[in-house]
Structure 1
Amino acid sequence: MNIRVAADDQSARIAAIVAELRHLEGPMLPILHRVQQEFGFVPEAAKQVIANALNLSRAEVHGVITFYHDFRADPAGRHVLKLCRAEACQSMGCESLADKIKAKLGIDWHETTPDGAVTLEPVFCLGLCAQAPAAMLDGELHARLDEHCLSDILAEVRT
């Protein structure tokens, strides 16, 4: 498949999502979530399509995408590890755990390992404050983390 056909297919899929959801009150977030669900990220081409459909500027759509941390401009890895960085988790040592994770994976926040296995993201509260520090791996919560737990989690996603 050539790149032009792939781009046309992507644009058509984005346009279909926008057409399906634009009738909702406050449709931008549902549209962005559906686009990301479909592609794994929000493609650059989606910004103008959404802006045109909602009578907004491309900058307004870009602003929403960059404001919310869950929207991605690039595909995530096969696994997404979100480490809580809120106050309760900080008080229980999440910063040193974050440093260890970043060192073991060889990446920083919002990056993906070169093999595409893991994307590391900060999150600012998973609601497990009494069980801090906490993380979420592919939607599954992990609480009372320590270096041993994280090593097990990282070994699981790297295999």
Structure 2
Amino acid sequence: MGLSKTNRETIEQVCARYGHRADALIEILHDVQRAHACVSDEAARIIAGSLNISRAEIQGVRSFYADFSTTPRAPQRIRLCRAEACQAVGADQLAAELDRAGTPHEAVYCLGNCALGPAALIGERLVGRATPDRLAAASAGSGQDD
């Protein structure tokens, strides 16, 4: 199923906002993903045409960065930092607790919040000193995630 006319126009507006510049590809992909929960193949085709670059170039960026998906993802997915600083303060144990609870999560490497590890990202919300309770509170939007 293809994108609606409105969705195609939204993608074209995002490209126009960045002046149809190929050097803004990552920002464009982030904006499109934020608006549509993914960067589909059809979206990539529209972006490629707007920026006058190949779809292969877009695929290279989409596949290199774990933040980009070709199919919609849940907005509240948990990304747990598994870099060394977070491992040193319990990221591995937190991942095991999440696994035991059946809570889906994915590993990322460094969220830039090392002083408050283990760190996690829920949607676009950064959670420091993450625990299962703090992650649940952040998912519910209680604000207890500083």
Category of TM-score, reference length = shorter chain? 0.7 to 0.9
Relative to structure 2, which stretch is displaced further, 124-133 or 45-54? Answer: 124-133
Aligned amino acid, residue 127 of structure 2? H
Question: Which residue is 2:43 aligned to?
Answer: 46
Question: Shift of residue 92 of structure 1?
Answer: 2.4
SS at match of 1:61: helix
User: Among 100, 105, 114, which residue is 1:129 paired with?
Assistant: 114
Question: Shift of residue 19 of structure 1?
Answer: 3.0
Aligned residues: 141
Aligned amino acid, residue 4 of structure 2? A
User: Among 60, 63, 67, which residue is 1:66 paired with?
Assistant: 63
The alignment yields a C-alpha RMSD, in angstroms, of 2.7
CA contact (8 A) 1:42 1:71 kept: yes
Unaligned runs of 5+ in 1: 108-119
Question: Shift of residue 68 of structure 1?
Answer: 1.5
Question: Which residue is 1:153 aligned to?
Answer: 135
Question: Shift of residue 155 of structure 1?
Answer: 6.7
Question: Which residue is 1:7 aligned to?
Answer: 4
Percent identity of the aligned residues?
A: 35
CA contact (8 A) 1:80 1:137 kept: yes
Question: Which residue is 2:143 aligned to?
Answer: none
Report the Cα distance in structure 2 between the residues aligned to 1:34 and 1:64, rounded to whole angstroms.
Answer: 14
Question: Which residue is 1:35 aligned to?
Answer: 32
Question: Shift of residue 24 of structure 1?
Answer: 4.1
Unaligned runs of 5+ in 2: 141-146
Report the Cα distance in structure 1 between the residues aligned to 2:58 and 2:79, rounded to whole angstroms.
Answer: 25
Question: Shift of residue 150 of structure 1?
Answer: 0.9
Question: Shift of residue 88 of structure 1?
Answer: 0.8
How does the TM-score come out when normalised to structure 1? 0.71
